[in-house]
Amino acid sequence: MVSTQAAEAEAGQPPALTIDALGKKCPIPIIMLAEQINYVPRNAIVSVLADDPAAFTDIPAWCRLKSHHHVASYELPDGGWAIHVRRNY
C-alpha cells in the first residue's frame, strides 16, 4: 500500500477533489467522475475512492477513451482503491 503522502508526491500534487464511490457498483463510480471532473481546474487531480473491482480497470479505460490521464491507483487500508485521474482538458 502507498501512503497518502507518497501518493501526493508521486502525482506531484494533492487531489483537488475526492469522489467517494465506496460501496457503489460500476458504472456509478465512472458516472460520478464524469459528472464532477469539469469542476476542477485543468491539470488538477481527482481521486475516486472505489471498492468495486470493475472500477479498478474501468476508470483507467475511461481515461484513455476520454483523453484524461490515469495517474495511478493506490490501495486503501480498508479495501478498495484511490484512483487518481488528471484532468487534461
Neighbours of 79 (CB within 10 A): 8
Which position among 2, 16, 22, 26 bears the catalytic label?
A: 26
Q: Give the three cell numbers for residue 22.
A: 465506496
Q: Is 26 a catalytic residue?
A: yes
Query: E strand or H helix at 33, and its extent?
Result: helix 28-36
Radius of gyration for the alpha carbons in the chain, expressed in angstroms and rounded: 12
Give the separation between CA 42 and CA 28, rounded to whole angstroms.
23
* Active site residues per annotation: 26
